[in-house]
Structure 1
């Protein structure tokens, strides 16, 4: 093991975007449906996929099983231990000291940020999902001409709660990024709200999605944006972050914009981070789905031109605590391998490589979100 891998293994990470872990024992079918973005299909086991193989290889030992344990043995052992012990083992194994938790998506019963932090022996902060907030406002009843004011007030109240460090939009899912970049007028928002209230359903009006993006700018907190890879609700070609270019021009000098996940658009995201001061990125979600075997390749493409103070770590783990652990493992191994090769080729000094590892694994997120910084982490 080289010095960079040793340093990353010892580094307590900041997972700047994730979700809670389930608070119930899972059936084989429920676990399978959470293991992949595509769900479970008849005759096709999600264990027979890169992420499934990674779980059997790297998670089985934490359940006291041999590496590459058969899926049936894995599921049986997971069930025998129970969800509390499973969550504790994987969350503590991630060696993550801070989780920033998106609480706006919970089709399953999940740990709260505090519960997640307790299981991991860590600290947790909250990320407010703007679409969920707007949908909650509408569910309580609002007139079209009051929509913008009420949503803005609700968002302002939400971000003033203790422990909230960022907001998030899932515009990529609802409309994609090929939007008019300009701030919508009050009249446009009122008319769009009227259409939505008459139609019902979730927020998917392009004008109202734009309104939320600009609301985020007004709130002044870092804005996380899902980009790229997701479940089949997304239209991947509309989730390319490069489509945000005109909006990023208009929002220069406002709030930090965090491009989440990005795959297969990590190079486009890297370009945006290289040319816009406010843009940062991660490749979370992609890492545990590609597994340790390919996480280095994804990170290498993300780091081709990204300034080193602009790459962050996230897992985007949802539901199964295996993903909080795997996300951290893949990040540590992939980043250590590529940095070590650059040192061996004399393209980086060892001190530079160690500094980059610490920046991306912890300090970039601490600086960006204004998190308390231990004396040992100060520049």
Structure 2
């Protein structure tokens, strides 16, 4: 297909992180709003412009129309008309089932009208597992807690309950020292936050975020670290070696290279392969890197995330093969390791995959 290996018979990928898809019908305006967010933009496109004229927009026009019975690169208006004609639910099913993803790890409890892990798995005819975000978990407990003691106690119970079914925890901590905060510090932080907080407000106390993070590591489940830059977490990465919980760095662009370097240094640390695997694969052993679509809202983003990843990997291993750096079987093995092998091991999905 298109002269690139590993595409026609690519085994299903494991998508280690996404947020879900919308249920509703989408017109041009609402579709462009979600497309703008995927392209990293804030607000509507300038007058006379469109976010279909972005890399993400071009990828959608290339890979998604054929899944709905249209030719590639058809005009956006025609694609959206076909989407409405098919219906939101059926279009979502066709797109998800054509994405090439066989297992989804979906962040649970995300605000908005997005699919749950169960709903996404059913629509995609695939496996789906929850990743529990720590900060919303604490926020939900705080909405019904009347005191510091009840908040800390119920949070510990909620964390334990989530660990019984979740595939992993996740945190947006941007900094964490190499030791857990002391009990007194945690109580003072909880008191400050609860006294000034209104129901529904986000968690803003760094000591509580660090407390949640160390508590999650103690469960032994993998913990995803959604960090703009992973460097401020370096002390935490060092301190958690040998505890038994794997850590997975999901940085923002352009910090994927640094995340891969940290994964190479620490046995229990892994990293997202990122949008340019040719950069990250040069910084860490291949078995320390994992694929994610990072899709949110549009089912089309699962398709484009998977296709762009597989094609980027195909180009890279073809270059390495042409240079004599590896053989064709090595190339396939590397692609499968990053595409699903490492995730199967880190998130303990071996029995399911078998």
**Quick one: distance in 2 between partners of 1:308 and 1:96?**
20
1:318 and 2:296 aligned = yes
Using the TM superposition, give the Cα deviation of residue 66 of structure 1 relative to its aligned residue in structure 2, in angstroms: 2.6
Deviations 1:32-78 (A, max 9, x none): 11113234415242212211121122222222233222222222222
Choose 62-71 or 198-207, whichever is displaced more.
Answer: 62-71
Q: Unmatched 5+ residue regions in structure 2?
A: none
Query: Displacement, 1:149?
Result: 2.8
* 2:210 alignment counterpart: 210
1:23 matched to 2:23? The reply is yes
User: Aligned pair 1:276/2:280, yes or no?
Assistant: no
Matched, 1:368 2:334: no
Q: Secondary structure at the match of 1:69?
A: coil
**Aligned equivalent of 2:68:** 63
CA shift, 1:220, in A, is 1.1
Residue 50 in structure 1 maps to residue 28 in structure 2: no
2:109 corresponds to: 104
Alignment: residue pair count: 345
Unmatched runs of 5 consecutive residues or more in structure 1: 228-238, 288-297
- Counterparts of 2:311 and 2:15, CA distance in 1: 16
- Whether the 8 Å CA contact 1:4–1:353 is kept in 2: the answer is no
Residue equivalent to 1:187: 184
Q: Report the RMSD for the aligned CA atoms in angstroms.
A: 2.0
Provide, for residues 106-161 of structure 1, a one-character-per-residue CA deviation record: whole Å limited to 9, x for no partner.
32x22221221122121111111111100000011141234333211111011213
The 10-residue stretch of structure 1 (128-137 or 260-269) with the greater mean CA deviation from structure 2: 260-269
Determine the C-alpha separation between the residues in 1 that align with 2:348 and 2:20. Answer: 22
Deviations 1:177-235 (A, max 9, x none): 3x4442111111111111111221210111111111111111210001113xxxxxxxx
Aligned to 2:77: 72
Please state whether the residue corresponding to 2:241 is helix, strand or coil: coil
Secondary structure, in 3 states, of the residue corresponding to 1:54? helix
Q: Paired residue for 1:338, among 316, 331, 339?
A: 316
Q: Which of 229, 248, 267 in structure 2 is aligned with 1:258?
A: 248
Q: 1: distance between equivalents of 2:63 and 2:142?
A: 44
The DSSP-based 3-state class of the residue aligned with 2:14 is strand
Structure (1 or 2) with the greater helix fraction: 1
Question: Residue 20 of structure 2 aligns to a residue in which SS?
Answer: coil
Q: Contact 2:52–2:58 (CA<8 Å) still a contact in 1? A: yes
| Local SS of the residue matching 1:10 | coil
Distance in 2 (alpha carbons) for counterparts of 1:35 and 1:21: 12
2:91 counterpart (86, 94, 97) = 86
TM-score by length of 1: 0.86
SS of match in other structure, 1:80: helix
